[in-house]
Amino acid sequence: MAEQDILAICAFCPAPCRSALGEVHGATTETRQPSALALVARSALGGRMPVTADILARLGDLDTVRTCQSACSYGLDIAAALEAVRPRLEAMIDAR
């Protein structure tokens, strides 16, 4: 499955993984949730939001995302998908 498809599934998932995460890695913070990071990555890749250094830093903070993988109902590896699209996002920040 392509990274874009993986990110889409996660971004629009009702996030059953949240209850499994608890306070691990500050997981209750919305901006650290895998679904939020997947949505940000999709929006940036689609040109709907600018790629900034702050966005790249947030998308690189994958501790919560990796913890969530074991609780993902779909068995998705969101961390790997985010890491795979990172070079495209980095190229977009350089293109400004």
For 16-68, what is each residue's pLDDT tens digit? 777 767 666 555 667 778 888 999 999 999 999 999 999 999 888 888 788 88
C-alpha 59/C-alpha 16 separation (Å) is 20
77 and 6 in contact (C-beta within 8 Å)?
yes
The pTM of this model reads 0.85
C-alpha 27/C-alpha 21 separation (Å) is 6
**Residue 94 pLDDT greater than 80, yes or no:** no
* pLDDT at residue number 95: 64
* pLDDT at residue number 51: 93
The ranges assigned to domains in the chain are: 3-94
